[in-house]
């Protein structure tokens, strides 16, 4: 199952290279976005001798600026939204798995994107996405893989852009929840705050 994670500040890396929300193939990360990552004891973990990430050395905005310069299809705000939606998804999954961090699949991320967008933008979600050049789930996949290519996200060998092709229809996902009861078709449910 495809899985994505993003970098979270100063968390302990395990032997598989998972650092909080970051999956790094091989052993613990030695660099992110071309910058050296320090290995120090985690403040929360006391005297732990394992490698940790010092996030002050990684500038998300700087890396996104580089991505946008190379691929101008999506603005900075779209990348920030995807990062926040991944955070939101991690929290949802953490509740379901009793606080255990784990990888997020492409389908789980799409569901997190849907829920987070409805929460943040309400009935304006499609309008916001259109302003950002996002018109289908595959656009989220493009953003994710731009972030993967610049080491803001990591992936497993099984992850591909195709993981985002079997997503949802934007009208069903973002507009129908706000339709009046008489206009809704079977299966569509209103958003409950």
What was the pLDDT predicted at 13?
36
- The 10 Å Cβ neighbour count of residue 69 is 8
**Domain ranges within the chain, ordered by starting residue:** 4-173
Tell me which residue of 32, 144, 1, 3 sits closest to 13, measured CA to CA. Answer: 32
For residue 15, pLDDT over 80 is answered with no
What was the pLDDT predicted at 68?
97
Residue 89 pLDDT level (bands cut at 50, 70, 90): very high
Give the span between the Cα atoms of 49 and 42, in whole angstroms: 8
Say whether pTM exceeds 0.75: no
Residue 8 pLDDT level (bands cut at 50, 70, 90): very low
Residue 168 pLDDT level (bands cut at 50, 70, 90): very high
Residue 111, phi then psi, degrees to nearest 5: -65, -40
H-assigned helices in 3-75: 60-70
What was the pLDDT predicted at 156?
85
- The 10 Å Cβ neighbour count of residue 24 is 21
Q: How far is CA 95 from CA 1, 42, 62, 82, 89, in A?
A: 20, 24, 32, 20, 10
**Considering the chain, what is the average pLDDT of its residues?**
74
Most confidently modeled of 7-11, 143-147, 164-168, 179-183? 143-147
Give the span between the Cα atoms of 90 and 82, in whole angstroms: 12
Q: Are 86 and 21 in contact (CB under 8 A)?
A: yes
Give the span between the Cα atoms of 131 and 28, in whole angstroms: 38
Mean pLDDT across 169-181:
94
Q: Tens digit of pLDDT for each residue in 17-36?
A: 333 333 333 323 333 444 43
């Amino acid at each position: 199952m495809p899985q994505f994670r993003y970098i979270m500040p100063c968390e302990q890396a395990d032997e598989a290279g998972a650092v909080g929300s970051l999956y790094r193939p091989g052993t613990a990360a030695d660099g992110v976005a071309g910058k050296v990552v320090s290995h120090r004891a985690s403040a929360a973990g006391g005297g732990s001798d394992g490698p940790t990430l010092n996030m002050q050395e990684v500038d998300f905005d700087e890396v996104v600026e580089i991505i946008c310069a190379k691929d101008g299809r999506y603005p900075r705000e779209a990348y920030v939204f995807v990062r926040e939606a991944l955070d939101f998804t991690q929290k949802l999954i953490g509740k379901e798995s009793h606080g255990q961090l784990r990888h997020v699949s492409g389908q789980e991320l799409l569901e997190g994107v849907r829920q987070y967008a409805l929460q943040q933008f309400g009935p304006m979600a499609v309008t916001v996405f259109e302003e950002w050049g996002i018109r289908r789930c595959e656009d989220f996949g493009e953003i994710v893989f731009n972030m993967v290519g610049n080491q803001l996200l990591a992936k497993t060998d099984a992850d591909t852009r195709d993981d985002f092709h079997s997503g949802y229809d934007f009208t069903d996902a973002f507009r129908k929840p706000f339709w009046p009861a008489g206009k809704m078709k079977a299966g569509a449910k209103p958003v409950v705050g």
